[in-house]
């Protein structure tokens, strides 16, 4: 297959830094989430759980910046067939939705448990749910389930990046490097 060099667009440095920063934070967050102790009614937010809340707060802050940047700086669309364009737009939209829904559900659950969420002890975040709120407690289960959905969509996204690089041999991966 002939390599296609016609697409020379790359995302702006800000978009690339935010993409890889958030990717790193999400990877750390999955490792912490799946290795931290089980959370029960009387669990205190210390150790790995405190890290999960702080890394989560950093993800929320970085996602706010990223969405503002994305809305004000639309990237040049990749040159793709209509089917691939639809699949890519749908996957990216789903990623953005989950990158907001998963942290917000976790944050509401932390608030319902009476846990304070703050950015590494510096910037306090307001409570998203009242202490003991049943909706906030239910959002804990939704958080755990949606984290798996996010994991699956990220796996698909990474597989697509490699499919572009090694099967289609186009320059889509280079747009984000």
- Residues at the contact surface with ligand HEM, assessed by CB under 6 A: 19, 22-23, 26, 29-30, 33-34, 39, 52-53, 56-57, 59-60, 70, 75, 78, 88, 92, 95-96, 99, 102-103, 106-107, 109-110, 117, 140, 143-144, 147, 150, 154, 157-158, 161, 172-173, 175-176
From the CB of 130, what's the least distance to ligand HEM, in Å? 15
In the complex with ligand HEM, which residue's Cβ is closer, 1 or 70? 70
Q: How distant, in Å, are the alpha carbons of 39, 74, 152, 158, 174 from that of 95?
A: 26, 17, 10, 12, 20
Contacts 24+ apart (CB under 8 A), 12-15: 12/73, 12/75, 14/69, 14/73, 15/66, 15/69, 15/70, 15/73, 15/75
Handedness of CA 84, 98, 145, 62 (dihedral sign): positive
From the CB of 142, what's the least distance to ligand HEM, in Å? 9
3-state DSSP assignment of residue 34: helix
From the CB of 90, what's the least distance to ligand HEM, in Å? 11
In the complex with ligand HEM, which residue's Cβ is closer, 95 or 168? 95
In the complex with ligand HEM, which residue's Cβ is closer, 103 or 129? 103
């Amino acid at each position: 297959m002939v390599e296609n060099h016609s697409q020379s667009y790359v995302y702006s440095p800000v978009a690339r830094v935010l993409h890889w920063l958030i990717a790193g934070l999400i990877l750390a967050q999955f490792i912490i989430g799946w290795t931290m102790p089980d959370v029960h009614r009387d669990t205190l937010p210390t150790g790995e759980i405190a890290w999960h809340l702080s890394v989560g707060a950093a993800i929320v802050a970085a996602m706010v910046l990223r969405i503002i940047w994305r809305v004000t700086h639309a990237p040049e669309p990749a040159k793709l067939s209509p089917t691939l364009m639809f699949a890519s737009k749908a996957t990216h939209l789903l990623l953005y939705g989950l990158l907001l829904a998963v942290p917000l559900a976790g944050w509401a659950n932390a608030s319902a448990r009476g846990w304070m969420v703050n950015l590494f002890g510096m910037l306090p975040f307001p409570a998203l749910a009242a202490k003991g709120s049943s909706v906030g407690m239910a959002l804990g289960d939704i958080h755990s389930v949606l984290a798996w959905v996010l994991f699956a969509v990220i796996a698909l996204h990474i597989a697509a990046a490699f499919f572009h690089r090694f099967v289609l041999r186009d320059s889509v991966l280079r747009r984000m490097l």
